[in-house]
Amino acid sequence: MQVLEEFGAACTVSACGAAVQRLPELARDAFRRGHEISAHGWRWESHAQLPAEVERDNIRRTVAAIEQATGVRPVGWHTRSASSPRTRALLIEQGFLYDSDFYGDDLPVRVPNPQGRPYVMLPYAFDTNDMHFQHTQRFSTAKEFADYVIEAIDWLWKEGETQPRMLSIGLHLRMLGRPARIGALHRILAHIQQKGSIWVARRDAIANHWLQLDA
């Protein structure tokens, strides 16, 4: 949070409902700092095999926990691992603005909504993601992670001269939030600041911006 504040960067904090219920002060702290609290499931679990009513109830309970902690209803959702064939329809049913269960492009995609409200899929990336410190050991040092993300930034910045581009950078407290790794975030944000013409934004702001462009 201190590194983000140093660069004036707002982010989206993906939070599980059960975790927020147990430690609401963490969600409130992030909210007070200007970050978005997005729903990350009731528990950190796949939805692929959940029965319909269990999935619907888990979404409802997650929304309630975040709203109770922060006073604001979450508008974004990200399923851990696999969503079910009905997840997106349930999210639309419960009034969400966007989900991050989309890995197929560098651009958001507007989704037709039979209820008439705007809805968008925001891309999430697994490569520019610090989970590779743990799951694959692709990154062993902060420098390796920062170098990889910065190369992605530079390439999309170049493409962005003629067309819109979005880069998702996934960060986890238990992975990047270590003394030997947190410097990577500082280096990435410093590079973005120096590069210029890059918008660092919460995912709800990106969704609303894209829907305006696509209107």
Q: Along the 215 residues of the chain, how does pLDDT read in single tens digits?
A: 999 999 999 999 999 999 999 999 999 999 999 999 999 999 999 999 999 999 999 999 999 999 999 999 999 999 998 999 999 999 999 999 999 999 988 899 999 877 788 999 999 999 999 999 987 889 999 999 999 999 999 999 999 999 999 999 999 999 999 999 999 999 999 999 999 999 999 999 999 999 998 66
Give the pLDDT confidence score for residue 113 in this predicted structure: 79
SS3 193: helix
Containing H/E element for 38? strand 36-39
Task: Look at residue 215 in the predicted model and tell me its pLDDT.
Answer: 63
pLDDT for 112: 85
Alpha-carbon gap, residue 162 to 8, rounded angstroms: 27
Q: Which helix (H) or strand (E) holds 53?
A: helix 52-70
Residue-by-residue DSSP string for 72-140: S---EE--SSPPPTTHHHHHHHTT-SEEEEE-S-SS-EE---TTS---EEEE--SSSBGGGGTTT----
Widest distance between CA atoms in the chain? 49
d(CA 10, CA 34): 6
Question: What is the rounded CA–CA span in Å between residue 52 and residue 34?
Answer: 34
Give dist(CA 50, CA 156) in Å, integer.
Answer: 37
The whole-angstrom distance between residue 79's C-alpha and the CA centroid of its chain comes to 10
pLDDT at residue 137, as a whole number? 83
Dihedral of CA 7/98/103/108: which sign? negative
DSSP letter at 161 equals T
